[in-house]
């Protein structure tokens, strides 16, 4: 254990660095820091290292059965490529890896609230790295809450870690490399999608050509390979679709959409949707860190320096002396596995330089970040957000938790609840278990629609801890509390006269 | 909607609404329920609509179930244990109906 070296001498530090998330970015940073003799705690929600991209990789490569070999072959070499990183992560004795652990609070001063089972507490470190990754862009459309409507990422998770593949009529709808990758993976596993309904158009691909860079050619060639393969296999594909809707009573029974001015209906058992990937901003927003609007990716992302240092957006009286949170990987900026590995290394080097333990950021590391991100402008242009391009109609559910429709929100916004927190307080939008993860962007856009504001930074719900559910039993037993910041309240604080008043009541 | 890629190995028993079902060691409760083919894991508290897992990475909170007596657990983030007791959630509307009777 390392002793405190900063401005909070009363509370001992639990580690030099706490890393939230154990995907490629988090693992890379952890390995770099541990090799420089820093103590590292890694907190992750999943049971094994790898993040979503290398999900369950250790288990899949350890099994020799032909089924697993077929699965590995279908998932492709990019999945297997994580094996060495995971091995090095596991081998480091200076990394205190804590799986199945949820983070429900991060403070800019380096305090992290965690939950594992029914145990919870706070940990502190000189530096906190957020490497908690991305999520799929939430897209409300009619019927998106029906059983049998799932995201592309969720189906891929079931392939990697659930030993499950879809059956029956499978329709894929939306846009983005992940949708096409999943389609090829499914096909290799003997699941031929009935239809791939793409929102992107041929013209998007043409427009994207001018963003092609030599360093970004390989991923593009790979993508064209997937398309060629799907075409050869006779998978039906249509592009330029809009107005997607899932139909059904208790589960999805059909999907319909508009293409070339015509309404198409296709029966299905599973509708897989995807509209690109965005940084998960739940932790940064809950920590009061500054966010910015990324117009090309149509998403929020945390405002950071190029080496990942975040800044606090809290009001002056809540400002920490110094913000010690850094953000890396897809949580900072969408880039994919190689880009997150490159930036994870760069972030670790920046931290070591700050601790005067390293030579600082090497030019090689900086070049790796630039190289791995060079394909992004092409991808952003080739696969623009499609399902979310238009705001939902009045009957579509926006808030999945509280089942609030766009119409209900529009009515309240028109009635004067025109800022995010007022709208949340009035309607409960964003107050359910998901805490706004799925509805925040749409609620913000509905407010902008009412204001006639376009192209500005959409407003956010004020995030407050706990940002994930914390059982009362776990809260009651919190460890790692800061004694100087803890106030003890007991029953003795209750006014005395309450007791006297009740004694006057005659006994029955 | 889903079928196993490989035959179940290291099979353990989980109780779903008191009925035994097999689960594969190390898998999530959500994967186990989808393999079992349940039509829903919860009915929503507002309208009683059925829901199944949507995102599988802990963001959407649609896979909520009761696990070993504790409600609102994320099935996609919980790993099955032998003899685990999983209950589907039947929504506040139905719970209130029962308490009114």
Complex confidence, ipTM = 0.94
Give the DSSP H/E element, type plus range, for residue A354. Answer: helix A337-354
Within 13 Å of residue A368, how many CA atoms lie on the same side as its CB?
A: 18
Domain containing B73 equals 11-90
- The number of folded domains in chain B is 1
Q: What is the pLDDT tens value at each position of chain A, 508 positions in all?
A: 444 444 445 688 999 999 999 999 999 999 999 999 999 999 999 999 999 999 999 999 998 899 999 999 999 999 999 999 999 999 999 999 999 999 999 999 999 999 999 999 999 999 999 999 999 999 999 999 999 999 999 999 999 999 999 999 999 999 999 999 999 999 999 999 999 999 999 999 999 999 998 888 888 899 999 999 999 999 999 999 999 999 999 999 999 999 999 999 999 999 999 999 999 999 999 999 999 999 989 999 999 999 999 999 988 888 888 999 999 999 999 999 999 999 999 999 999 999 887 788 999 999 999 999 999 999 999 999 999 999 999 999 999 999 999 999 999 999 999 999 999 999 999 999 999 999 999 999 999 999 987 667 899 999 999 999 999 999 999 999 988 777 766 666 555 555 444 444 454 4
Task: Please tell me which of the candidates B3, B54, B76 has its beta carbon nearest to residue A165.
Answer: B3
CATH of the domain at B86: 3.10.20.440
Residue B53 lies in a domain: yes
**Two tokens, residue A466:** 């706990």
Q: What is the spatial order of strands in the sheet that A242-247 belongs to?
A: A242-247, A254-259, A262-267
Q: What is the CA radius of gyration of chain B?
A: 14
Residue B99 lies in a domain: no
Residues of A in contact with B31 (CB under 8 A): 158, 161-164
Residue B1 lies in a domain: no
Residues of A in contact with B37 (CB under 8 A): none
Residue B31 lies in a domain: yes
Task: Please tell me which of the candidates B28, B40, B56 has its beta carbon nearest to residue A153.
Answer: B56
Indicate left, alpha or beta for B25 from its phi (over 0: left) and psi (-120 to 50: alpha). beta
Residue B5 lies in a domain: no
Give the DSSP H/E element, type plus range, for residue A499. Answer: helix A497-503
Residue B79 lies in a domain: yes
Residue B101 lies in a domain: no
Residue B100 lies in a domain: no
A164 and B56: CB-CB below 8 Å?
A: no
């Amino acid at each position: 254990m390392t002793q405190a070296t900063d401005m909070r001498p009363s509370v001992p530090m639990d580690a030099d660095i706490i890393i939230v998330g154990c995907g490629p970015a988090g693992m890379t940073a952890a390995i770099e820091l541990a090799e420089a003799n820093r103590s590292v705690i890694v907190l992750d929600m999943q049971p094994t290292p790898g993040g979503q991209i290398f999900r369950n990789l250790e288990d899949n490569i350890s099994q020799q059965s032909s089924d697993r070999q077929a699965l590995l072959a279908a998932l492709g070499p990019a999945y297997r490529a994580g094996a060495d990183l995971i091995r090095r992560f596991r081998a480091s004795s200076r990394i205190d890896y804590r799986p199945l652990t949820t983070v429900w609070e991060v403070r800019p001063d380096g305090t992290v609230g965690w939950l594992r089972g029914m145990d919870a507490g706070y940990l502190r470190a000189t530096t906190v790295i957020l490497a908690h990754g991305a999520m799929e862009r939430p897209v409300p459309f009619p019927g998106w809450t029906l059983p049998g409507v799932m995201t592309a990422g969720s189906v891929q998770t079931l392939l990697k870690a659930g030993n499950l593949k879809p059956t029956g009529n499978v329709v894929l709808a939306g846009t983005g490399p992940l949708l096409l990758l999943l389609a090829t993976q499914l096909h290799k596993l003997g699941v031929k999608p009935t239809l791939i309904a793409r929102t992107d158009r041929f013209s998007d691909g043409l427009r994207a050509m001018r963003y092609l860079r030599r360093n970004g050619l390989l991923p593009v060639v790979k993508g064209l390979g997937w398309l060629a393969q799907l075409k050869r296999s006779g998978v039906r594909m249509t592009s330029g679709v809009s107005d997607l809707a899932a139909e059904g009573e208790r589960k999805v029974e059909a999907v319909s959409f508009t293409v070339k001015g015509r309404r198409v209906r296709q029966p299905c058992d599973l509708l897989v949707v995807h509209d690109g990937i965005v940084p998960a901003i739940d932790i940064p927003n809950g920590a009061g860190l500054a966010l910015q609007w990324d117009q090309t990716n149509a998403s929020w992302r945390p405002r950071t320096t190029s080496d990942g240092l975040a800044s606090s957006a809290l009001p002056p009286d809540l400002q920490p002396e110094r913000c010690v949170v850094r953000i890396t990987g897809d949580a900072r900026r969408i880039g994919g596995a190689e880009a997150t590995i490159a930036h994870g290394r760069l972030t670790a080097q920046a931290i070591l330089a700050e601790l005067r333990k390293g030579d600082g950021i090497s030019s090689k590391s900086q070049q790796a970040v630039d190289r791995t991100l060079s394909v992004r402008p092409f991808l952003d242009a080739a696969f623009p957000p499609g399902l979310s391009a238009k705001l939902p109609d009045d009957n579509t559910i926006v808030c999945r938790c509280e089942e609030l429709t766009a119409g209900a929100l529009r009515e309240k916004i028109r009635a004067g609840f025109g800022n995010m927190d007022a709208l949340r307080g009035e309607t409960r939008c964003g107050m359910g278990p998901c805490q706004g993860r799925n509805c925040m962007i749409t609620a913000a856009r509905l407010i902008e629609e009412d204001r006639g504001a376009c192209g500005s930074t959409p407003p956010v719900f004020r995030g407050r801890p706990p940002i994930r559910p914390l059982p009362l039993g776990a809260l009651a037993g919190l460890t790692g509390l800061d004694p100087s910041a803890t106030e003890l309240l007991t029953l003795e604080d209750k006014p005395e006269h309450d007791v006297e008043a009740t004694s006057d009541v005659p006994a029955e | 909607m889903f079928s196993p890629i490989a035959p179940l190995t290291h099979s353990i028993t989980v109780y779903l609404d008191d009925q035994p079902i097999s689960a594969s060691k190390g898998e999530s409760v959500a994967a186990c329920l989808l393999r079992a083919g349940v039509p829903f894991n919860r009915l929503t508290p507002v309208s009683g609509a059925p829901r199944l897992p949507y995102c599988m990475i802990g963001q959407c909170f649609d896979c909520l179930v009761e696990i070993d007596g504790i409600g609102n657990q994320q099935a996609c983030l919980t790993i099955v244990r032998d003899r685990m007791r999983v209950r589907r959630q039947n929504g506040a509307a139905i719970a209130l109906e029962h308490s009114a009777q």
